[in-house]
Amino acid sequence: MRARDDFDDLRAERDMPTHYRNEPNRHAGLWKQIAIGIVVGYSVLGVISAVAWMIIARLMLGDLSITLP
């Protein structure tokens, strides 16, 4: 009888490729996401700024009063 080695059931696994074949296509749509993020972020900051300036203008003109309890 032959002694069974611990390595009899091992199988070789394929390594993951370190480089992709289509390297330029990995981040193809990334510039669109960055551009949309900049446009949306700038728009949201503009709206928040406009609302804040309207509140400040009403406070300065005296139309809006803040009451503290």
Give 26's contacts (C-beta < 8 A, 6+ positions apart): 20
- Taking only the tens place, the pLDDT of each residue in 12-60 is 666 666 665 656 677 778 889 999 999 999 999 999 999 999 988 888 8
Please give the model's pTM, rounded to 2 decimal places: 0.50
Question: In the prediction, which pLDDT does 18 show?
Answer: 60
- Distances 66 to 51, 53, 56, 59, 62 between C-alpha atoms, Å: 17, 16, 12, 9, 10
